[in-house]
Amino acid sequence: MNSMPKSSPEKEVVKSLEAGGVVDYLEYLQSGKRIMWVNFKAGVARGFGMTVGATLVLGVTIWILTMLVDLPVVGEYFSDAQQYITEYAERTNYEDEFAEQIRLLQEIDESNKQLINTSPEVD
């Protein structure tokens, strides 16, 4: 009647694991370089997303506050809030810190060059 051979339980388990992607996942876990590359790409995407998201939220917030400043009674409070947000956005400019880091790195490089030039030669 039923001429199809029955598959063994082991074959059924293997088929279900392959269908579920477990084999691919195990291959992924065995490759350290692949894990590092995937995590690096995920980190870059998260950082980019956070930057874009924060920019949009801050921009929309300032835009809404500029519209609400003209309201009577509460306009003063919104004006203060807008001022605080604008000051915060200006304070988070990191150009000064980057310039300081570059200056420190140049000093370190110069001192390393001096150490190399003044160190006694070994015969």
Q: Is 5 contained in some domain?
A: no
Each of the 123 residues of the chain gets a pLDDT tens digit; together they read: 455 555 677 777 777 777 777 777 888 888 888 889 989 999 999 999 999 999 999 889 888 877 777 777 777 777 788 888 888 877 777 677 778 888 888 888 888 888 777 766 655
Residue given tokens 């015969």 in the structure block: 123
Q: Is 1 contained in some domain?
A: no
- What's the gap between Cα 74 and its chain centre? 38
Q: Is 123 contained in some domain?
A: no
Split into its structural domains, the chain has a count of: 1
Query: pTM to 2 decimals?
Result: 0.41
Contact, 61 vs 85, CB < 8 A?
yes
Could you read off the pLDDT of 11-38 as tens digits, one per residue? 777 777 777 777 778 888 888 888 899 8
- Provide the domain limits for residue 34: 11-117
> b/e per residue, 84-109, with b = 16+ CB within 10 A?
eeeeeeeeeeeeeeeeeeeeeeeeee
Count of all residues that appear for the chain in the document: 123
